[in-house]
């Protein structure tokens, strides 16, 4: 996560050095990305769920043809109640924390995230994506590199035109 205020908050509350907190945030983010790629979904208790969504092919009607666009995938975020505690396992495994430390780290991080959502603050999760206010709506935009990875199986499919009959 690229947020100085979040890093300072974690640094202060956990009595850790900034470099260590930054590394833990990076490792946690990469763990979430890995889980998303492996399982197609990663839930964050008290926050919501990131999911790989399949978008089927599209037809774009033009004056003399119909363009067929290949399918693709997108990363979507849904705020919903989540009881899954898999994120604690990710934090323990990737950030190298004990269960007690992981719970404290997670609570602070989740609280910061919920506060950012409520205040519509710009928020970036390295490798995963960003949240931002766009014309009064708070939207999630997936990281371009992550989209490239999830769409790698479709990159060879060209768009093509069907002549109008």
pTM of structure: 0.81
Could you tell me the pLDDT band of residue 75, with boundaries at 50, 70 and 90?
very high
Report how far residue 23's alpha carbon sits from residue 2's, in angstroms, rounded to the nearest whole number.
11
Q: For residues 162 and 68, is the Cβ–Cβ distance under 8 A?
A: yes
* Burial letters 14-50, b for 16+ CB under 10 A, else e: bebeeeebbebbbbbbebbbebbeeeeebbbbbbbbb
Q: Does residue 163 fall inside a structural domain?
A: no
The pLDDT, as a whole number, for residue 146 is: 94
CB 47 within 8 A of CB 142: no
Q: For residue 18, give its domain range.
A: 4-51+78-145
The reply to whether 68 falls in a domain is no
What share of the chain has pLDDT > 70, as a percent?
A: 98
- Block residue for tokens 């995963």: 128
pLDDT, one tens digit per residue, over 126-154 is: 889 998 888 888 889 999 999 999 999 88
Q: Identify the band that residue 114 occupies on the pLDDT scale cut at 50, 70 and 90.
A: confident
* Cα–Cα dist 44/80, whole Å: 10
Q: Read off the pLDDT of residues 3-54 as tens digits, 9 standing for 90 and up.
A: 788 888 888 998 889 998 889 888 888 999 999 999 999 988 878 889 999 9
Q: What's the rounded Cα separation, in Å, for the pair 65 and 165?
A: 9
Q: For residue 110, is it within any domain?
A: yes
C-alpha pair distances (Å), 85 with each of 4, 56, 122, 159: 26, 31, 26, 41
pLDDT at residue 1, as a whole number? 65
The answer to whether residue 9 is domain-embedded is yes
Q: Give domain status of residue 161, yes or no.
A: no
Q: Please state, rounded to an integer, the average pLDDT across all residues of the chain.
A: 87
pLDDT of residue 81 exceeding 70? yes
Of all residues in the chain, the percent with pLDDT exceeding 90 is 26
How far CA 155 is from CA of 23, 143, 144, in Å, comes to: 33, 17, 14
Q: Is 61 exposed, middle or buried (0-12, 13-18, 19+ CB in 10 A)?
A: exposed
| 71 within domain boundaries | no
- For the chain, the domain total comes to 1
In a domain, 70, yes or no: no
**Is 61 domain-assigned?**
no
Cα angle 105, 92, 128 (rounded to 5 degrees) comes to: 75
């Amino acid at each position: 996560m690229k947020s100085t205020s979040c890093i300072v908050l974690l640094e202060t509350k956990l009595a850790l050095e900034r470099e260590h907190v930054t590394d833990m945030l990076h490792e946690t983010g990469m763990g979430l990305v890995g889980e998303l790629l492996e399982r197609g979904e990663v839930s964050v208790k008290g926050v919501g769920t990131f999911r790989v969504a399949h978008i089927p092919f599209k037809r774009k009607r033009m004056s003399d043809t119909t363009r067929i666009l290949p399918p693709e995938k997108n990363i979507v975020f849904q705020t919903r109640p989540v009881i899954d505690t898999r994120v604690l396992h990710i934090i323990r495994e990737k950030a190298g924390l004990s269960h007690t430390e992981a719970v404290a780290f997670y609570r602070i991080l989740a609280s910061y995230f919920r506060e950012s959502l409520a205040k519509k603050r710009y928020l970036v999760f390295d490798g995963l994506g960003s949240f931002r206010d766009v014309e009064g709506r708070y939207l999630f935009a997936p990281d371009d590199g992550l989209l490239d990875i999830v769409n790698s199986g479709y990159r060879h499919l060209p768009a093509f035109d069907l002549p109008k009959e």
